[in-house]
């Protein structure tokens, strides 16, 4: 399937069906603000059917030989390669991705599928000795069952694939709820790709519905063993509370307030280029995007001048044009939220030295100076193309500024020596940090996740393999065991 109308449906047990809710969802192009399609929303009854279908399919899938599981993932990669242009086109028109960002997203999603293809043969148990004579201890690694995945709208194809592919590769089945802004790229397009690759019925199911109607039921339903969510800290906290009440495991990748620290001995030109990429890729709508740029006071003015010149060369506009670097935000509410934080910060003394012009859902790249940590544009996650620059006097103050806020997802340090950068990096309370680079880094085999309010658990490589599996201990008594009751 590749026609627009095909994706305006739910996908349950291998069938494309209309949602049974009386409510509807609109899929809107964020650049043109035109409606791509309208569809019937999923109801709680649809959700229940999807979970029961996934539970039934999981028992057969878990017993499927590893070679067949691996072959499915390899088939998925082949289908992705064949449909690459279609995937990129949907990312551009549905999520406002520039062509560069869409290509990058395709590549890292492909990397996730490739890494996941190795998982069926990495489901290794253990044999252990026992202190009890004649006993053998066996620890089996098994799939957890049904995984509920809630996909986001910012990197929709990749971040849904990041949970879906590893979950399926490790013997689980999936019910996927895509973000309402990206129904296709976070949901139905993935289902169609897996179906074309030969996935059995019920292996992956997609229910697109409003969070207000099926969100709580999605988490609280008794069937899923793990809820995987990528999104805001506020929603993630709500999900964690609900999952905890039902004794469910969670994989939560939440908000960030990531810093790029530029020290006195840094290469300022390199730091400015890192800052431009790490701040403005996908309009800053990435959990790992730079939220604050911390610059040593001795280098502040020079850095800002270099940074400003870099940004003046970046084209903002239609994401479907090859040379566009900054495209639209996902919807008008995001624009208004950022505009409020920007204006409130200016009223508190920040200075706008570049950009900020608003055209529809497009915000032209902006630089703010004279920013402090207590201003809305610094303390809130921006998720947009505004770059606050904060001056610091020494390394201790830079670390304090970085750690003062409650997030800890990613970060970066630009210094003259690796040793200097590593010394600072070790002091930052974050799940990931990058020296002489920028914070937007995600490779399929590395640990990905945050500390503090930025989430729970880790994605990537062996870490996500462990998240979607469970260990079962079986002991074997090979000779009759004497018990003290009968001595």
Using CB atoms within 10 Å of the CB of residue 304, give its burial: 0 to 12 exposed, 13 to 18 middle, 19+ buried: buried
Q: What secondary structure does DSSP assign to 331-364, as a single string? A: SHHHHHHHHHHHHHHHHTT-EEEE---EETTEE-
Residue 148: other Cβ atoms inside 10 A: 29
CA distance 260 to 482: 64
Instruction: Name the nearest CA neighbour of 449 among 121, 163, 73, 157.
Output: 163
Task: Note the residue count of the chain.
Answer: 487
The angle formed by the CA atoms of residues 450, 452 and 457, to the nearest 5 degrees, is: 40
DSSP-derived 3-state class of residue 253: strand
Residue 394: other Cβ atoms inside 10 A: 12
Instruction: Name the nearest CA neighbour of 455 among 258, 312, 227, 256.
Output: 256
The CA-atom distances, in angstroms, between 483 and each of 133, 136, 331 are 12, 17, 69
Instruction: Name the nearest CA neighbour of 30 among 343, 323, 320, 313.
Output: 320
Q: Is 253 in the active site?
A: yes
Structure tokens at 384: 């947009």
The DSSP output letter for 283 is: G
Q: What secondary structure does DSSP assign to 286-325, as a single string? A: STTSEEEEEEETTTHHHHHHHHHHHHHT--BS-TTSTT--
Structure tokens at 487: 């001595």
Given the residues 253, 312, 359, 381, the one annotated as active site: 253
Across 339-359, b (16+ Cβ under 10 Å) vs e yields: eebbeebbeeebebbbbbeee
What sign has the CA pseudo-torsion 335, 336, 339, 345?
A: negative
DSSP-derived 3-state class of residue 155: coil
What sign has the CA pseudo-torsion 305, 310, 313, 319?
A: negative
Residue 475: other Cβ atoms inside 10 A: 12
Give the helix/strand (H/E) hosting 34. Answer: none
- Cite the active site residues: 253
């Amino acid at each position: 399937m590749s026609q627009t109308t095909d994706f305006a449906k739910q996908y349950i047990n291998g069938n494309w069906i209309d949602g049974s809710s009386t409510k509807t969802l609109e899929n809107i192009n964020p650049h043109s603000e035109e409606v791509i399609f309208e569809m019937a929303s999923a109801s709680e009854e649809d959700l229940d059917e999807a979970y029961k279908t996934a539970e039934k399919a999981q028992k057969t899938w878990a017993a499927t030989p590893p070679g067949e599981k691996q072959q499915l993932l390899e088939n998925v990669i082949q289908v992705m390669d064949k449909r690459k242009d279609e995937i990129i086109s949907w990312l551009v028109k549905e999520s406002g991705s520039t062509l560069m960002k869409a290509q990058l997203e395709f590549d890292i999603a492909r990397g996730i599928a490739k890494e996941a293809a190795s998982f069926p043969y990495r489901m290794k148990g253990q044999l252990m000795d026992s202190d009890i004579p004649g006993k053998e201890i066996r620890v089996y690694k098994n799939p957890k069952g049904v995984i509920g995945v809630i996909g986001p709208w910012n990197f929709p194809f990749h971040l849904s694939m990041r949970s879906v592919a590893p979950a399926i590769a490790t013997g689980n089945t999936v019910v996927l709820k895509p973000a309402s802004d990206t129904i296709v790229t976070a949901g139905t397009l993935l289902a169609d790709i897996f179906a074309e690759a030969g996935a059995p019925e019920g292996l992956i199911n997609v229910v697109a519905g409003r969070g207000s109607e099926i969100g709580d039921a999605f988490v609280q339903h008794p069937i899923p063993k793990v809820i995987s969510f990528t999104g805001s800290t506020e929603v993630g906290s709500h999900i964690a509370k609900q999952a905890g009440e039902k004794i469910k495991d969670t994989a939560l990748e939440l908000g960030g307030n990531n810093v790029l620290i530029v020290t006195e001995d840094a290469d300022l030109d390199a730091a400015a280029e890192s800052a431009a990429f790490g701040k403005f890729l996908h309009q800053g709508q990435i959990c790992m995007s730079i939220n604050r740029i911390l610059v040593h006071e001795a280098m502040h003015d020079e850095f800002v001048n270099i940074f400003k010149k870099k940004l003046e060369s970046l084209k903002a506009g239609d994401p479907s044009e090859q040379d566009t670097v900054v495209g639209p935000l996902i919807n008008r509410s995001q624009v208004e939220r950022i505009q409020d934080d920007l204006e409130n910060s200016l009223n508190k003394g920040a200075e706008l030295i570049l950009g900020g012009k608003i055209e529809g859902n497009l915000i032209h790249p902006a630089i703010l100076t004279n920013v402090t940590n207590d201003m809305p544009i610094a303390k809130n996650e921006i998720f947009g193309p505004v770059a606050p620059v904060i001056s610091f006097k020494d390394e201790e103050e830079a670390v304090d500024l970085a750690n003062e806020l409650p997030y800890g997802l990613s970060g970066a340090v630009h210094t003259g020596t690796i040793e200097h950068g590593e010394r600072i990096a070790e002091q930052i309370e974050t799940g990931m940090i990058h020296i002489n680079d920028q914070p937007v880094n995600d490779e399929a085999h590395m640990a990905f996740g945050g500390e503090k309010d930025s989430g729970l658990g880790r994605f990537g490589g062996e870490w996500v393999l462990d998240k979607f599996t469970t260990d079962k201990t079986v002991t074997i008594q090979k000779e009759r065991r004497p018990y003290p009751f009968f001595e």
